[in-house]
Amino acid sequence: MSDQPLNVLFLCTGNSARSILGEVILNHDGEGRFKAYSAGSNPTGTVNPWAIHTLKALGYPADGYSSKSWSDFAHGPEFDLIFTVCDSAAAETCPIWPGRPTSAHWGIPDPAAAEGSDAEKAAAFLDAFRMLKRRIDLMLALPIASLEQIALCERLQAIGKDADKQ
- CA dihedral over 65, 9, 105, 136, signed as positive or negative: negative
Which residues are marked as active site?
12, 86, 94
Total Cβ atoms within 10 A of residue 78: 12
DSSP assigned state of 59: T
Of 148, 157, 142, give the one whose Cα is nearest residue 33.
142
User: Quick check: helix, strand or coil at residue 60?
Assistant: coil
Written as one letter, the residue type at 64 is G
DSSP assigned state of 144: G
**Phi-psi sector, 31: left (phi>0), alpha (psi -120 to 50), beta:** left
Of 135, 2, 161, 10, give the one whose Cα is nearest residue 79.
10
User: Quick check: helix, strand or coil at residue 145?
Assistant: helix
